[in-house]
C-alpha cells in the first residue's frame, strides 16, 4: 500500500525503517500531471531499488516572469491513482513552506551549463531546478534518482551538481517516451490546440533528419542549425534554438567529436516544446 507523506519528519521515519531493513531506495522527483513518460521512470526505478519514492511539487523558483506557474496543470487525484497502480511505495507531497522556509536565501547555480539553450531564454530556470533537486536529494537521500532524457540539459545540469557536491547518489537518465507520431510526451502538450497538436511532431522530425545528416558525414553544424531553425519557423513554430552539441557537456560540437546530442526548443502557440536526439558517430581510425 502506498504511503502518502506531507512532512519531512514522517518521510524520514519511513525511509529509516526501509534502510534498517537493508532496502535500497529509488527516487523520482516530479511536478505532477503524470503521464506515460513518468511511468517509464517508475518502471526503471523498480528495476534499480527495492523501494520507490515519488515526489510531486510544482516548484515556483524554476518559473520565470510570465511563465505558467499558476496555470501549470495540477491533477493530484489522477496522479495518485497512477502511482498506486504502478506500485510506488511512497508519495512525498511537500508544501512550498516546507521546501522554502521563511527567509530561505540559498540558491545553487551550475555555472557553464545553465546559461545557454533553455537557460538563455528562461533566466534563472536551472538555478531553481538545481536548488529544489538538491533539497529533495537532501531530504530523501536516495541510492538512485531517475530523470527523463527529454529534459536533456536538465539531466546534464543535475549530473554535474551531484558530481560537484559529492552527493552519493547514482543518476539514471531514462529514454524519452513519445506519442505514436513522435511527439515527446510532456505535461505542456495539453496546451496545444488540435491544429497545433497536428503540427507539433515536426520538431522531432527535424531532429531525426538532422541526425541522418550527421550520420551521413555532414559536419557543418551551423548549416544544420540554420536549416532546421528556418524549417520550424516557416511551419509556424517560433524556434528558440536548434543546436548540435557534445553530449557530455553541451559545448558546441566539433568535427572530431563523436558523442553528440541535437537539442531543440520552439514555441508552438502557448507551449514551449523541447526535445533532443542522441547521435553516436563512428570513431575514425
Q: What are the tens digits of pLDDT across the range 103-115?
A: 999 999 999 999 9
Opening angle at CA 161, ends 158 and 167, nearest 5: 105
pLDDT of residue 166: 98
* Averaged pLDDT, 54-59: 97
Which residue has cell 557534445? 246
Q: What are the tens digits of pLDDT across the range 10-19?
A: 999 999 999 9
Residue 3 — φ and ψ, nearest 5°? -90, 140
Kindly tell me if the per-residue pLDDT of 52 is higher than 50. Answer: yes
Residue 265 — φ and ψ, nearest 5°? -145, 140
pTM of the predicted model, to two decimals?
Answer: 0.95
pLDDT of residue 67: 82
Q: Which domains does the chain have, with CATH numbers?
A: 3-174 (3.40.50.620), 187-277 (3.30.1300.10)
pLDDT of residue 70: 87
Arithmetic mean of pLDDT over the chain? 96
Kindly tell me if the per-residue pLDDT of 285 is higher than 80. Answer: no
Kindly tell me if the per-residue pLDDT of 148 is higher than 60. Answer: yes
pLDDT of residue 284: 58
The CA-atom distances, in angstroms, between 229 and each of 209, 244, 265 are 13, 12, 10
Residues 261, 49: Cα–Cα separation, whole Å? 29
Residues 258, 280: Cα–Cα separation, whole Å? 6
* Averaged pLDDT, 86-108: 97
Active centre residues (catalytic): 38
Opening angle at CA 104, ends 28 and 164, nearest 5: 55
Q: What are the tens digits of pLDDT across the range 225-268?
A: 999 999 999 999 999 999 999 999 999 999 999 999 999 999 99
Q: Name the pLDDT band for 65 (thresholds 50, 70, 90).
A: confident
Q: Which are the contacts of 261, defined by CB distance < 8 A and separation ≥ 6? A: 152, 244, 245, 246, 247, 250, 276, 277, 278, 279
Amino acid at each position: 500500500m502506498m504511503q502518502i507523506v506531507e512532512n519531512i519528519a514522517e518521510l524520514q521515519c519511513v525511509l529509516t525503517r526501509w534502510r534498517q531493513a537493508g532496502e535500497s531506495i529509488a527516487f523520482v522527483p516530479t511536478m505532477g500531471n503524470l503521464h506515460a513518460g513518468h511511468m517509464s521512470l517508475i518502471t526503471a526505478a523498480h528495476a534499480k531499488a527495492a523501494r520507490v519514492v515519488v515526489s510531486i511539487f510544482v516548484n515556483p523558483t524554476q518559473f520565470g516572469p510570465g511563465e505558467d506557474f499558476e496555470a501549470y496543470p495540477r491533477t493530484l487525484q489522477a496522479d495518485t491513482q497512477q502511482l498506486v497502480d504502478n506500485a510506488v511505495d511512497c508519495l512525498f507531497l511537500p508544501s512550498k513552506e516546507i521546501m522554502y522556509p521563511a527567509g530561505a536565501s540559498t540558491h545553487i547555480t551550475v555555472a557553464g551549463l545553465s546559461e545557454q539553450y533553455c537557460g538563455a531564454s528562461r533566466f534563472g530556470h536551472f538555478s531553481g531546478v538545481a536548488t529544489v533537486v538538491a533539497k529533495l536529494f537532501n531530504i530523501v537521500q536516495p541510492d538512485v534518482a531517475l530523470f527523463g532524457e527529454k529534459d536533456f540539459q536538465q539531466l546534464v545540469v543535475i549530473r554535474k551538481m551531484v558530481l560537484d557536491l559529492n552527493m552519493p547518489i547514482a543518476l539514471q537518465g531514462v529514454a524519452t517516451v513519445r506519442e505514436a507520431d513522435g511527439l515527446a510526451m510532456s505535461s505542456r502538450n495539453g496546451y496545444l490546440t488540435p491544429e497545433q497538436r497536428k503540427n507539433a511532431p515536426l520538431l522531432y522530425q527535424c531532429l531525426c533528419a538532422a541526425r541522418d545528416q550527421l550520420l551521413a558525414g555532414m559536419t557543418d553544424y551551423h548549416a544544420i542549425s540554420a536549416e532546421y531553425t528556418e524549417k520550424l519557423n516557416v511551419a509556424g513554430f517560433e524556434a528558440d534554438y536548434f543546436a548540435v552539441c557534445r553530449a557530455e557537456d553541451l559545448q558546441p560540437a566539433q568535427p572530431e567529436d563523436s558523442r553528440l546530442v541535437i537539442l531543440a526548443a520552439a514555441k508552438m502557440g502557448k507551449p514551449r516544446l523541447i526535445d533532443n536526439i542522441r547521435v553516436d558517430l563512428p570513431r575514425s581510425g
